Chains A and B, each alone.
Chain A
Amino acid sequence: ELKVEQNPLFLSMQEGKNYTIYCNYSTTSDRLYWYRQDPGKSLESLFVLLSNGAVKQEGRLMASLDTKARLSTLHITAAVHDLSATYFCAVDIVRYGGSQGNLIFGKGTKLSVKP
């Protein structure tokens, strides 16, 4: 059974600081996604990582994937209040002979950025 573990689950940061969220998964996969969810809202796609060594950056967020270590990281640089949200990683299980499979989500990391 595929397990996806995120840590930390809760993160309180001060503005301007850097931090990293970790996502470990238990089986082979070369597709990993990061999503953001604001309170009471739906999920917004942040990054799609499709190969070992993939690195994507958008603003103050940078995501990377190490498929050999089964680890993805989401690095936050110089945090600002607007980044406060819950961040989910999700790993793809490819099934059905070539079509995209199902995503197994981590439990999410609730990030709070304080002035």
Chain B
Amino acid sequence: GESVGLHLPTLSVQEGDNSIINCAYSNSASDYFIWYKQESGKGPQFIIDIRSNMDKRQGQRVTVLLNKTVKHLSLQIAATQPGDSAVYFCAENIGGGATNKLIFGTGTLLAVQP
């Protein structure tokens, strides 16, 4: 598999517990913030996004919170399952709709213990 999990911050949770993955961003002008999930040996997959004028958005089992005051983004996963084990990246869209230029964070490895 990929070696991208090495040297990454790791969050270890028990199956069924809730997970919270945090991310700090740098550009105050970003329009959108996006969370991606990357499983071993695969490309990143979109999970959920949030516009800069919102502070919370919910999806299926996932919630994203945005705190613009401290430039902080979090992803909450409810009832974490073994299939949620992956590396999670936040990304900020600094290009706007015309170019969609995304800058990614370094990622967090989520390890779900059965």
Q: Is B a genuine binding partner of A? A: no
